[in-house]
Amino acid sequence: MKVHPRCSYCLLSRVHLEAKLSTDDEELMHKAILGGIEVLREKYMPGMPAAELATPMHRKAYEILNDNDPYIKMKELSNKAAAKVLPIIRSHVYNGHGNDNDLFKRAILAAVIGNYFDYGVMGLDVPIDVFEETFIEHFRRGLDIDDTDRMLDKLSNVVYLADNCGEILIDTLVLEAIKRMGGRITLVVRGAPILNDVTLEDIKDDNIFEMADRVMTTGSNAIGIRFEEAPLELKEALENASLIISKGMANYETLSEENYRPIAYLLKVKCDPVGEDIGANKGSSVAKLLE
């Protein structure tokens, strides 16, 4: 996905959020903004991939703030919130009628809604206490783009690209469904802390490791996957996958610049540029397959 004019100020607002999460020092906040402006000036270019602007923006902010994980408390909060609502979500996924295929489809829907567990995108935050209500509402509404039927025969060797903390717990319902259907799973998490994204560290206390046949990382703290920084094993896994399941906007921004197929993008559309690119309105629940 290419950069949109809106990305410029949205990213600067994220830098400010990171500064506020990291420090009370107003001078340091100004310095983080100044760093963001400097990166904008150096990098912003029409037609560039959006992530090639986002990654250096965040990295500069983290460097200036001298903080390699400003979202750490927010990530813990996300995980706690998700753990709390998981039994309710699980009951919605398992209590419906139908076979394993139906279960898979409901799990996909739940995982897309789980993509709401992402804080800091301007204008579409969901407070924890209204999440459950929101979840049920979105579950009833279903997917706005729904290609799940066409994913069913592609589950033998899935590469699952995780997105946020919290959300990852909801993703386990999809992992479970794939395992029930005999599929093999490669779970991919971020190589180092960035935004609210899940890393190895964030899942070490859960039994998520055991649900996947193998776990690998993106190799760095880049937004989504930055292929110059990704390990060879990840590229091989993507090439050999029967299906890549890509969660969230950051993975979409970077994978949409590549040609790995078949790939299923599962996400909540949280901003207009991504919405325009993927062909859905802001707020939509998307499970889009490209073959």
Q: What binding mask, one character per residue, do residues 95-134 give for its own copies by CB under 8 A, x or -?
A: ----------------------------x-----------
Residue number, 13 or 242, with CB nearest to its own copies: 13
33 binds its own copies (CB under 8 A): yes
Residue number, 13 or 101, with CB nearest to its own copies: 13
Task: Pick one of 46, 87, 127, 182: the residue that binds its own copies (CB under 8 A).
Answer: 46
Q: How far is the CB of 65 from its own copies (least distance, A)?
A: 13
Q: How far is the CB of 51 from its own copies (least distance, A)?
A: 17
Rounded (10°) CA dihedral 262, 253, 137, 99: 10
Task: Pick one of 18, 25, 27, 133: the residue that binds its own copies (CB under 8 A).
Answer: 27
24 binds its own copies (CB under 8 A): no
Q: Is the peptide bond before 46 cis (omega within 30 degrees of 0)?
A: no
44 binds its own copies (CB under 8 A): yes
Helix/strand/coil (H/E/C) assignment for every residue in 2-41: ECCHHHHHHHHHHHHHHHHHHCCCHHHHHHHHHHHHHHHH
Q: How far is the CB of 16 from its own copies (least distance, A)?
A: 5
Q: How far is the CB of 123 from its own copies (least distance, A)?
A: 7
Sign of CA dihedral 241, 167, 196, 124: positive
Spatial distance between the Cα atoms of 184 and 79, rounded to a whole number of angstroms: 25
Spatial distance between the Cα atoms of 79 and 201, rounded to a whole number of angstroms: 12
164 close to 171: Cβ distance less than 8 angstroms: no
Structure tokens at 91: 């009951």
Spatial distance between the Cα atoms of 274 and 291, rounded to a whole number of angstroms: 20
Task: Pick one of 1, 22, 23, 29: the residue that binds its own copies (CB under 8 A).
Answer: 29
Phi then psi dihedrals of residue 246, to 5 deg: -110, 115
Q: How far is the CB of 68 from its own copies (least distance, A)?
A: 21
Using alpha carbons only, how large is the chain's radius of gyration in Å?
Answer: 18
Residue number, 27 or 129, with CB nearest to its own copies: 27
Structure tokens at 36: 């963001």
Spatial distance between the Cα atoms of 247 and 232, rounded to a whole number of angstroms: 21
Residue number, 60 or 247, with CB nearest to its own copies: 60
**How many Cα atoms within 13 Å fall on the side-chain side of residue 219?**
11
Residue number, 12 or 74, with CB nearest to its own copies: 12
CA-based max dimension of the chain: 58
Choose one: 1-9, 65-73, 147-155, 178-186; the region binding its own copies (CB under 8 A). Answer: 1-9
Residue number, 40 or 237, with CB nearest to its own copies: 40
Residue number, 25 or 76, with CB nearest to its own copies: 25
Closest CA to 204 of 84, 110, 75, 67: 75
10 binds its own copies (CB under 8 A): yes
272 binds its own copies (CB under 8 A): no
Q: Give the residues lining the site for its own copies (CB under 8 A).
A: 5-6, 8-10, 12-13, 16, 19, 26-27, 29-30, 32-34, 36-38, 40-41, 44, 46, 123
